[in-house]
Structure 1
Amino acid sequence: MLRTQQLIEIEQLQKECESHDHVQLKLNWEMLRARTSDQMDFLLYEHGELVAFLGLYAFGSTVEVCGMVKPSERRKGYFQRLFDRAIEHIKRSGYKRILLNAPAGSDAAKSFLNKQGVKYAFSEHQMKWQECPLEETSGLVLRKATIDDYEMSVRISVQAFGMDEEDARVMESKTFADHTDMRMIVVNEETVGKLRISLEEEGQAWIYGFSILPEYQGKGIGRQVLRQVIKEQSAAGHSVHLEVETKNEHALGLYESVGFKAVHTQDYYSYPWRE
């Protein structure tokens, strides 16, 4: 569990790195603040100052890695030290896949990645809604999920995302246990999909896990859901954000059609420790 002071130091280091490199790091703050142990985070101090940080983020049997080093303290092997410790922890923990995450425009990250023998996997756009007129919505309900929705939530993850069922059960169990703002999408009294809304600092509302069962796709439901969420969150004074894989042209087109615009891109690389 990260202490309050550690969270402050990580945030300060993030701002310094982002300002210096002109990028946006993906540190999954919702997960950092909810840590229940210190086994997923690696911090390195010099003379009482945090100079490097690496976080692990578990998604079922996949673990993502993201971190940073103070600009003036780079090329000293600090991140490699943290990375080696993290890999040892990952091996002991039984994860099946390791993904390294880095901002697409980060030269510092690419320099490190080139030494690790990684393979490019995919990229994601981080998108932000740009204010524009939206049509009214009708005929659907976004209700707060309850524990009774667990099995349906697993089914949606498997069928809509192609996720392994075991991974889906692990992830949905954590989601429900964390009491996050999961919404079930209901049309004509049938549950057809889900999404989660996470309110971050600086008034940002992030949409995660937006998915609709295959048999209900292509009917305009997704567009209506997005319009309703956007209206709700923007009326509350929040900016609205989401992520989408760059190769998912259908989803990308849907998001752009209601006013989302890509503002940052994150690259993901597979670490070949079991390949």
Structure 2
Amino acid sequence: MLTKEQLQQITELKSVCEKEGGFELKLNEDMLETRDGKSKEDFFHYEEGRLVGFLGCYGFGNKIEMTGMVHPEYRKKGIFTKLFGAAISEVKKREISTVLLNAPSPSQSAKEFLKSIPCTFEVAEYQMKWEAAVLQDDSAVIIRPSTSQDDFEAEIQLEVACFGFLEQEARSFNERMKELNSEDMFIIEAEGRTAGKIRVSETNGEAWIYGFAVSPELQGKGIGRKALSKVVNMATEKGLPVFLEVEARNAHALKLYESCGFRSYHSQDYYKYESKI
């Protein structure tokens, strides 16, 4: 587990790097705060007691995402290469099939590093913020907490059907989310049955929407729009700004979010590490 001091050091370094680069880093603070300590996922580089380099690994099923940063005054000294090498060595000990490197789209220093390793562009992801829209409140769609084993099994199948997870990957990922208890899990009900799922993380005074899925056979009926509207209403009633992430290749989801009042404000590029793990 990371200490409060380490988390503070990461936050301070992140602020410096973002200010210098004019972009936002995706460090998954909610996951950093809930590390279970079972595996080495975070890598640090200090100079004279000062944190100047950091790389974090984030597991999603059989996939690892990596994001990191180096203080502007300490770049071009091989620090990130060292952190990346240590992270890859650790990943090789685990049954991981895919490593994705995450970089803010405008970051030139990230692009320079990516040229030095075997990787290929995979996908762009947009961060979106809800601004304003008239939201539907339809009683035909119900949002309720996920509480039972049946709910858990339904979430597994939705991960498989909507996100392409293998069942065991989905099960492992959801079991860990349940253990960490850092997000609110909700079941979407419509037409008298479980129609989908959604997760909401409330961190640092913000609400983030993740894992939003509607069963394929029920898509195209407006269920997703009504469910999303309800979740946004729940968050805004608490006075929280609402954010989410969506991959650029998911044009249908992007259009849905935009129609509900979400606007893109930042993007991240993902590169697939091509060397054998």
Q: TM-score range by the shorter chain?
A: over 0.9
CA RMSD of aligned residues (A): 1.2
Q: Percent identity?
A: 43
For residue 237 of structure 2, what is the aligned residue in structure 1? 235
Q: Offset at 1:251?
A: 0.5
Using the size of structure 1 for normalisation, the TM-score is 0.97
- The answer for the alignment partner of 1:99 in structure 2 is 100
> Tell me, what secondary structure is at the counterpart of 1:92?
coil
Residue by residue, what CA displacement relative to the aligned partner does 1:62-101 show, whole Å, maximum 9, x if unpaired?
A: 1111000001111111111111111100111121111000
Where in structure 1 are there 5+ consecutive unaligned residues?
A: none
What corresponds to 1:12 in structure 2?
Answer: 12
For 2:115, the equivalent position in structure 1 comes to: 114
Could you tell me how far apart the structure 1 residues matched to 2:276 and 2:198 are? Answer: 33
Q: Secondary structure at the match of 2:59?
A: strand
1:186 corresponds to:
189
* 1:82 alignment partner in structure 2: 83
The number of equivalent residue pairs is 274
Query: What does 1:36-51 correspond to in 2, within 5 Å?
Result: 36-37=36-37, 39-51=40-52
What is the Cα deviation at residue 150 of structure 1? 1.4
Q: Partner letter of residue 147 of structure 2?
A: T
1:258 equivalent in alignment to 2:251: no
C-alpha displacement of 1:140 = 1.5
Query: How far 1:11 sits from its partner (Å)?
Result: 0.4
CA distance in structure 2 between the aligned counterparts of 1:238 and 1:213, rounded to whole angstroms: 28
Q: Is the 8 A contact 1:137 1:227 kept in 2?
A: no
Contact 2:61-2:165 within 8 A present in 1 as well: no
CA contact (8 A) 1:184 1:193 kept: yes
Contact 1:16 1:70 in 2 (8 A): yes
Matches within 5 A, 1:1-275: 1-37=1-37, 39-148=40-149, 149-179=151-181, 180-201=183-204, 203-274=205-276
Paired with 2:148 and 2:226, the residues of 1 have a C-alpha distance of 25
SS at 1:52's partner residue?
A: strand
CA distance in 1, matches of 2:79, 2:163: 37
Range moving further from structure 2, 128-137 or 216-225 = 128-137
Q: After the TM superposition, which of the residue ranges 187-196 and 203-212 deviates more from structure 2?
A: 187-196
1:165 offset after TM fit, Å? 1.2
**1:222 CA drift (Å):** 0.5
Task: Give the 3-state SS of the residue equivalent to 1:93 in structure 2.
Answer: coil
Task: Write out the 4+ residue segments of structure 1 that deviate beyond 4 Å after TM superposition.
Answer: none
Q: 1:136 to 1:150 in 2, by over 3 A?
A: closer
Once residues 154 and 254 of structure 2 are traced to their aligned partners in structure 1, the CA distance between those partners, rounded to angstroms, is 25
Deviation at 1:274, TM superposition (A): 2.4
Is this contact kept in 2: 1:27–1:66, CA < 8 A? Answer: yes
Kept after mapping to 1: 8 A contact 2:136/2:230: no
| Shift of residue 228, structure 1, vs aligned partner | 0.8
